[in-house]
Amino acid sequence: MKIAILPGDGIGPEVIDEACKVLKALALGVETETAPVGGAAYEASGVPLPEPTLALARAADAVLFGAVGDPRYDSLARALRPEQAILGLRRELGLFANLRPVHLYPELASASSLKPEIVAGLDLLIVRELTGDIYFGAPRGRRHAPDGAFAGALEGFDTMRYSEPEIERIAHVAFRAAEKRAGRVTSVDKANVLETSQLWRETVTRMASHYPRVALDHMYVDNAAMQLVRAPKSFDVIVTGNLFGDILSDEAAMLTGSIGMLPSASLDSHGKGLYEPSHGSAPDIAGKDLANPLATILSLAMLLRYSLDQEAVALKIEAAVQKVLASGLRTADIHAPGYQRIGCRAMGDAVVAAL
Ligand code: NAD
């Protein structure tokens, strides 16, 4: 088995180093190869996703990705900006399913902006479709409005669209994930208004018959946004399209208090995936040994679970993280009075020691 390691920019290399320490300590005999991506790749070869990096990602069984982006590159043409690397990898590797577990470790319940009794024990999974919807639908652009009250005025327009097979494959991912969890899927749409959502709802309902052990319910996206802050523990697996998933997954992320704790996976239809922390490159704290590496270490656990079929090892990493938190060690982002504040490297060392 081979893992492509793409550290990227800002705190990316720092948090990836700690995940690599953990991988090494596990001595699984997995091969790794590192390549530049994002701003680091632009500096080295003039593009954010060089061909050799893409070739490595294609050839590997899974990709462990740090983060990309830096204000230094904000003035570059869109195609050359570091963030294009992640979009390119998703497109080229066919990564259509984004999995974001939102797990609140009991030790961190006070870090959430919600009351501890609402979030303590929270454990939900958001399955977001990643390659379709209004973000990619054509036609799109600007034109002079052909009709309506503002006919002739400049307007921007986009197209929301989903085909049946696209909905079916993301529904499969959600139902299979629910089978391994509490057995409940909530499909989120806006079927009271949108044609796309009506097809989405019909298709997901039909797919449910293949999964008799999973209970399905449907929720409008406005209600889902509300329920996520009112009663987040009522969810097990949420499946939704690209636009709604983008917003809901960030809302759910904040339930845990720190973005530095949240892993994510983006999978293709064969279980190959790209695994990355949910946060960005955090240029404000880069190079200061301040970053929380746990989201990346937990992304490695997801990689082992979903792409390398090593559930037991994934559980071992997750247990080690919990043990470190229970021992009172905290990076700055999750620090509170009474706990011991440590840096990025020391947090990686602590997880290795707990293993
Ligand atoms: P960000 O996630 O990088 O940072 C937001 C805030 O959270 C900052 O205050 C940062 O210090 C803090 N933070 C983030 N990760 C942390 C960690 N592991 N430990 C402790 N604190 C952490 O988001 P941003 O500031 O909006 O974006 C910065 C850059 O990252 C931009 O160039 C953006 O485009 C890029 N970005 C990349 C990805 C990706 O690579 N997938 C995702 C989001 C943003």
- The tens digit of pLDDT for each residue in 236-246 reads 999 999 999 99
Structure tokens at 235: 């969810």
**Bridging pattern class, strands 263-267 and 340-341:** unpaired
The predicted-structure confidence for 309-331, as pLDDT tens digits, reads as follows 999 999 999 999 999 999 999 99
Cα of 262 from ligand 1 centre, angstroms: 12
SS3 225: helix
pTM score over 0.85 = yes
Structure tokens at 270: 């064969």
Residue nearest to atom 33 of ligand 1 (CA): 69
Residues with CB under 6 A from ligand 1: 11, 15, 67-70, 83, 86, 259-260, 276, 279-285, 291-292, 295, 333
Cα of 202 from ligand 1 centre, angstroms: 37
Spatial separation of the C-alpha atoms in residues 19 and 192, rounded to whole Å: 44
The predicted-structure confidence for 246-267, as pLDDT tens digits, reads as follows 999 989 988 887 788 999 999 9
Mutate-to-test residue for ligand 1 from 86, 281, 330, 342, highest number of ligand atoms within 8 A of CB: 281
Fold annotation for 1-100+260-355: Isopropylmalate Dehydrogenase (3.40.718)
Structure tokens at 300: 């490695």
pLDDT of residue 166: 97
Q: Directed axis angle between helix 311-326 and helix 12-26, to 10°? A: 120
The predicted-structure confidence for 169-224, as pLDDT tens digits, reads as follows 999 999 999 998 999 999 999 999 999 999 999 999 999 999 999 999 999 999 99
Residue nearest to atom 5 of ligand 1 (CA): 282
Q: Domain spanning 113-135+163-256: which superfamily?
A: Response regulator (3.40.50.2300)
Spatial separation of the C-alpha atoms in residues 21 and 2, rounded to whole Å: 16
Spatial separation of the C-alpha atoms in residues 71 and 38, rounded to whole Å: 12
Cα of 285 from ligand 1 centre, angstroms: 9
Average pLDDT for 67-85: 93
Average pLDDT for 135-152: 94
The predicted-structure confidence for 226-236, as pLDDT tens digits, reads as follows 999 999 999 99
**Cβ-based neighbour number of residue 116 at 10 Å:** 14
Cα of 282 from ligand 1 centre, angstroms: 4
pLDDT of residue 105: 85
SS3 186: strand
Residues 6+ away with beta carbon under 8 Å from 207:
168, 171, 172, 175
The predicted-structure confidence for 13-25, as pLDDT tens digits, reads as follows 999 999 999 999 9
**Domain-by-domain residue ranges, the chain?**
1-100+260-355, 113-135+163-256
Mutate-to-test residue for ligand 1 from 76, 130, 279, 288, highest number of ligand atoms within 8 A of CB: 279
Name the residue with tokens 């509490």: 182
pLDDT of residue 259: 81
As beta bridge partners, residue 217 has: 186
> What DSSP string describes 78-143?
GGGSTTHHHHHHHHHHT--EEEEEEE--GGGGGGSSS-HHHHTT-EEEEEEE-S-GGGT-SS-EEE
Please, what sign has the CA dihedral across residues 12, 52, 299, 276? Answer: positive
Task: Provide the annotated active-site residues.
Answer: 135, 190, 222, 246, 250
Residue nearest to atom 42 of ligand 1 (CA): 280
Cα of 284 from ligand 1 centre, angstroms: 9
Q: Is 156 exposed, middle or buried (0-12, 13-18, 19+ CB in 10 A)?
A: exposed
Contact yes or no for 98/245 (Cβ under 8 A): yes
Residues 6+ away with beta carbon under 8 Å from 340:
328, 329, 330
Q: Return the DSSP state at 259.
A: G
Residue nearest to atom 38 of ligand 1 (CA): 280
Report percent pLDDT > 90 for the chain. 86
